Structure formats: structure tokens, C-alpha cells
Amino acid sequence: MRRFAFVLVLLSAAYLTPVSARADDLDRRVAEQMHTNAARYGIAGQAVLVRHNGQRLVHAVAGDADIAAHRPVTAQTVFNVYSLAKLLTSTLVMQRVESGDIALDAPASRYLPGLPVRWQAITVRQFLDHASGVPEYFQSRDGVVSTAQGPGLPPTLPAVWAMLDGQPLQFAPGSANRYTQTNYLVLTALLEAQYQQPYARIVEQRILRPLGLQHTWLGPPPSARRDRALGYIGRAGVLQREDDVAWPSYAHGHAALHTTLADLDRFVQAMSRGELVSRSALYGLWQPQALADGRTGGFASGWEYEESGAYREVGHDGGTRVRVRIAFKDGLDGDRYSFIYLTNGSAKNVWSRTLVDSTMALVAPRAFPRQTLTERLITHALQAGGDRDSAALQQWLRTDTGIAASDLEREINRAGYAIRENLGNAAGLEVFQLNTELFPRSANTWDSLAETCAAMGDQRNAARYLARARQLASPAAD
């Protein structure tokens, strides 16, 4: 088993050292949570920063930037943050919307000639919110990127458009969300057409230089930098080295952003304070998109959108490795948290959402009941049978989660699937069994339990539980 080194200062007798000079109870508890996350998921290295109303609550690093060399993560470590690059692109588009130079609901082709014929009526908003229906422009398998034309990526953006020109849309624009990198190729090109400059120069002039982000790069950092976190991936539960994709410059609007925790924090705070887009404009832009059938989409001007308790949450992930989240209540001038959780990979390829949720549950459990519920259920699922206090957990679930009783069964079920994905079927089974005990008359709880048993090869119980689900779903059920 790999030994994890942690850094949070004043706790150096164990494995942890605080980055800040003063260690308090929150430092200690976050350090313990990072240690727990590393043990659960096999995380190589981590960096976490949390703020409340602009005040820094936690700044902690842990583990290794380079496992083979035993080089630890530090406050200066440069991480590949992958698709967090899209937040720069969406911010630049929002600036043009605020200035009146771009209309969100106008066709992107109004501003960008040369798009494939089937894309001509797709709006800027639909590209931003992954509601365009355009196909993905590449595939990735075992770290090898290819297209229908073979290994590697097309040399130029016009070559990408030509390659995609005859392909059908995946769905009618505006009818669904499906995350594709192609959307942000369009937006990157749109910005270049607006400014008549290369994308990298636009980012430099409008974000990096104004904010003083001196340790942030589109594409790989300079070769002289030795403080870069190497990337790792889990294969069959084992942590293995993974090289970064050599993205062409036309892809830098959706990938290959490298930055430090401090620089990323500066960007997040600038967004929250209205330095890049005014708060009044931002509040309108950070509203969830409505799909054609009336459902609420999962994006707001390119930022992932959801709600927890009284808070609205916007942010983005970088695959399984990194995530940024801003939670605000009563507008951006009201109560506000920001969470940044960076890793360079894990053996279980844990969802970055799960890591951020664990921090939110620790820092403000009453403010974020959904995240607190998930973390409690993960702990329950991983405890040995004799160590579980199921009665106490059920009492808490029935009386003290802060989640409406009408939503509780659905939220437990949602957490169960997340736990299955991150920790395996056996852990998920514990949660689904618990849900049937709490909601024995729900067909959905028994159906989820049956599905998990089937995935584990327990066909006998799968059939039994499925029969129970069908009985309860029948109109004749009493």
C-alpha cells in the first residue's frame, strides 16, 4: 500500500502540516478528511482552499506531486486543471454579452462564419450550456486521442469543421444537455473573431494580466518549472502514471489549463466579487438554462448549476481530478462560499464532486445538507458491520438532515449511485438496503437494490427485490 504524505503545519508529528501559520480545529478536521479521502480513493496529491464571504477558512495540501520521486505537493505546485479551462472561455463570452457585443440567444454563426451547415441556427447560449447537440470531435481510449480519421487530432480548426460537417446532430438544439468539447471549440473561435486576436492573447489581456496570475498557463508550463504535479489515473484500482494530452492551441478553450491553487483562488474570488463580469450581470447569467420541454438544464452560461438547501451552486470540474464550486445565498452580495479541490489523480478515479462534497459537509454541514447526507452515507457504507450504529443514523436521517421529507428517499438513492460509482457495488448496496428500511413502500428503493444485487451476480435476491418493486409499482398495490 502506498504511504501518503500530508502537509497542514503544526501537526507534523503525524503526517499533516498547515499551510497557514495558525492551526485551529477546522484545520485539523480538514486534514483528517483529506487523509480519509486519500485512504478511501487512493489519491496521489491534493490541494484544498475554502473561503466564506472572502475570508480564507482552509488552505491545505497533502500527498505527492510525483510519487516516484517522493516530491510532495506544496502551496506552489502547478496542477493541470483540465476542463476548468472552460471557465475562462465562458467568462470571456459573458464579458462580451455584458458589453452588448454578443447576444446569448443569437445564432453563433452570426459572429462566426464557416461553421458546419447543420450548426447555423444553434445559439451562443446553447453552445455555452452544452445544449447544442453537436457531436464530439475526438475520442479518447487508454490515454490515446483519435478521431474518425485516425490517431491524433486535426492540425487546424477548419480541418475540424470539415471533419464534422457531414455528421448529424445528436439531438435537437435546446432539447437536452450533452457535454462535448466541440462546444468550446466554437466559443474559442467566436472570441478570436470578436477580438481579431489569438485566444491565448485574449486570455492574457483580459484575465491573466488584470488579475496578476503569474503562475497560470494555457498549454504546459515552461519546461524550467519543476513544481508541476504529474498526472495519475486508476487502472484496475492501481494508481498509474498518465501523460497529458498534447492539445493543439485551438483546443485551449476547453483543456490544458495549468495553474496553482493560489492563482485559481484569485480567479474564483474575482468572479465572485464582480471584477471580471459585474455582479448584476453575473447574477442574471448564473441562472439555469431552461430546456425545450421545460426541464431545467444543468448549466448556467457554461458553469455547472445546482442547488443545495438555500444555496445556489455554480462551478465546474476537470474530469475526476479537480473541481471549483461557488455557493451563494440571497444573491452574490449575500452569504457566499467558495471551494477548490485539486488532485493529480486517484486509484479509484473518484468523482471530483465527491471530494468537494466531503469538504462542504465538514465546513458547513447545516448550510449544505445534500453534501452532508452523502458524506454520512459513505462513512456508513464503509464501516464494518459491528462498527455501524444504524439506529443512530436512521434517527438522524428521519429527523435532522435538513432535507425535506418528500425529497429524502430520492436524495439517499442519488447518493447510493454515487457511492456505487466511486466505491463499488458492495458499498452502494449498504445504502440501498438502508433506503428500503426507511422507505419500505417505495418501488424505487427496491428497484435500486435489485439492480445492485444483479450487478454483484446475486440473481436470486435481484429477482426477489425486483418482484417487490413491481408489486409496489402496481396500481393494485395497497
**Pairing label, strands 6-7, 144-147:** unpaired
Joined together, the cell numbers standing for residue 41 give 480513493
> Sheet containing 144-147: which strands, arranged edge to edge?
139-141, 144-147, 150-151
Query: In the chain, which stretches have pLDDT less than 70?
Result: 1-23, 384-388, 476-478
State the sign of the Cα–Cα–Cα–Cα dihedral 215, 218, 224, 230: positive
Q: What pLDDT, on the 0 to 100 scale, is given for residue 12?
A: 29
3-class SS letters over 344-401: CCECCCCCHHHHHHHHHHHHCCCCCHHHHHHHHHHHHHHCCHHHCCHHHHHHHHHHCC
State in Å, rounded, how far the first CA of the chain is from the last one: 52
Cell of residue 85, nine digits? 479551462
Three-state secondary-structure class, residue 171: coil
SS3 (DSSP) at 55? strand
| Domains of the chain, CATH where assigned | 83-304 (3.40.710.10), 368-478 (1.25.40.10)
- Length of the chain equals 478
Q: Which three cell numbers stand for residue 202?
A: 485574449
- Alpha-carbon distance of 286 to 320, in angstroms, equals 24
Residue pLDDT, tens place only, 55-76: 999 999 999 999 999 999 999 9
Coil, helix or strand at residue 320: coil
Q: Is beta strand 336-343 parallel, antiparallel or unpaired with respect to 322-328?
A: antiparallel
| DSSP summary character for residue 276 | S
pLDDT in tens, 402-435: 999 999 999 999 999 999 999 999 999 999 999 9
